[in-house]
Structure 1
Amino acid sequence: MPPYTIVYFPVQGRCEAMRMLLTDQGQSWKEEVVNLETWSQGSLKASCLYGQLPKLQDGDLTLYQSNAILRHLGRTLGIYGKDQREAALLDMVNDGVEDLRIKYITLIYTNYDAGKDSYVKALPGHLKPFETLLSQNKDGKSFIVGDQISFADYNLLDLLLTHQILAPGCLDAFPLLSAYVARLSARPKLKAFLASPEHVNRPINANGKK
């Protein structure tokens, strides 16, 4: 049996970063896919600690909250920085990713048609901090923090790939971020994952907008 079980909807959503992390780290897992009909019946939702998915089962440990899951995998697999300083910076990066992800989710599910233009216009201001962080680490030629990949890199990569679909060319003004996405996406296991039918055919969002 694989050590991990992911319980989530048949979309990329908040799980694609952890799928990329597990794939790139050579980990196996199984997925319990929850369709919207099952979810709407209410019993599974009622059993979830916060009434939401994803859920990760790691042996007898049950975790909810996607960022808690990413941090747990980071600690377990040794990709949480080399010391407390790097771990603190990675927490900061991941919180920044979450801030932008919430903005994105709000757009997708509540204001897509009316709000997309203004969202894209404001996007450079939200991307600039990540470009700045890259510039401060080995002139942008490495990872977001330190010299090894981290849980936050997978989360940031997922969010940037999603935004390149929402707003093609959004990274054109950010050469370090553009190179970062290309560099991480070329890692052999990630490259294979990103080209796989499972990833390509999995909707980004539950309402079909992207």
Structure 2
Amino acid sequence: MPQYKLTYFDIRARAEVARYLFALAGVEYEDKRVTQEEWQKMKPNVPNPFRQLPILEKDGNVMIQSNAISNYLAMEFGFHGNDNMEKYKIEMVGESIYDMSKAMMTANFEKDEEKKAKLTEDFYGTFLPKWLSAMEKILKESTGDYFVGNRITLADVGFIFSCDYLLAAKPDAFKDHPGLSGLYDRLAANPKIADWRKNRPQTMF
């Protein structure tokens, strides 16, 4: 049986989609969480040419870049597309989710208060309504209850991960989008996802 080790900080962020995939697959792994102090000591010798985390190790092979790691695990565990069109749809949804997350984080972490106010207004007033409507349409065009048919894929995992942050900031985000609301609830009720969310280390973000 392969031996997996995922190294990242004690936060969700860039490693959490991979952790969701391990939970869904029921595959054991070492969830190595390091402090900033530990990372500074590790950094010069870390097996990653970019000197950054996360890192996934599997039987001596080192994998880097969070999206690449998530895609790899999704393919390994059966949560990616069964054909090229399904793979396209999964990656299209993933990029769309990334666009939303990036826009929200850009607004949240802007230090200039005037710019922050403008970015926040643009995100919640313009970007988010259009994004939610587009995602609702994409979901309705699916042949099943998830973004790609009747099974959970990487697209759905990315959705619940990112929308946790969105709903924390705007709890009523899905009020006019029953499809997205239903999808979120179905994913949250999945026993393996629910168990992971209940028992994972509680972190700030």
- Give me the TM-score of the superposition, normalised by structure 1: 0.85
The answer for the alignment partner of 1:167 in structure 2 is: 170
Q: 1:66 to 1:142 in 2, by over 3 A?
A: same
Distance 2:153 2:112 in 1: 31
Q: 1:46 to 1:3 in 2, by over 3 A?
A: closer
Q: Deviation per CA, 1:16-42, whole angstroms, max 9, x where unpaired?
A: 121111101111111221211233457
Q: 1:88 to 1:51 in 2, by over 3 A?
A: same
Secondary structure in 2 aligned to 1:56? strand
Secondary structure in 2 aligned to 1:182? helix
| 8 Å contact from structure 2 (residues 2, 59) kept in 1 | no
| 8 Å contact from structure 1 (residues 2, 29) kept in 2 | no
The answer for the alignment partner of 1:84 in structure 2 is: 84
| 8 Å contact from structure 1 (residues 79, 150) kept in 2 | yes
- Structure 2 unaligned segments of length 5 or more: list them: none
- Give me the TM-score of the superposition, normalised by structure 2: 0.87
Superposed, which structure 2 residues align to 1:46-125 within 5 Å? 47-111=47-111, 114-115=116-117, 116-121=120-125, 122-125=127-130
The answer as to 2:4 corresponding to 1:4 is: yes
Q: 1:151 to 1:6 in 2, by over 3 A?
A: same
Distance 1:83 1:112 in 2: 46
Secondary structure in 2 aligned to 1:14? helix
| 8 Å contact from structure 2 (residues 7, 53) kept in 1 | yes
Distance 2:47 2:124 in 1: 37
For 1:49, give the aligned amino acid.
P
Secondary structure in 1 aligned to 2:78? coil
- Deviation of 1:8 after TM superposition, in Å, equals 0.5
- Deviation of 1:11 after TM superposition, in Å, equals 0.6
- Structure 1 unaligned segments of length 5 or more: list them: 205-210
Q: 1:40 to 1:117 in 2, by over 3 A?
A: farther
Q: 1:112 to 1:31 in 2, by over 3 A?
A: farther
The answer for the alignment partner of 1:208 in structure 2 is: none
Identity across matched positions, percent: 25
Q: 1:42 to 1:193 in 2, by over 3 A?
A: closer
Which of 166-175 and 123-132 deviates more? 123-132
Aligned residue pairs total: 200
Which of 161-170 and 98-107 deviates more? 98-107
- Deviation of 1:112 after TM superposition, in Å, equals 8.8
The answer for the alignment partner of 2:20 in structure 1 is: 20
Q: 1:111 to 1:21 in 2, by over 3 A?
A: farther
> Aligned Cα RMSD in Å?
2.3
The answer as to 2:139 corresponding to 1:131 is: no
Distance 2:64 2:188 in 1: 27
Q: 1:132 to 1:29 in 2, by over 3 A?
A: same
Greater relative contact order structure (CA < 8 Å, 6+ sep): 1
- Deviation of 1:105 after TM superposition, in Å, equals 3.0
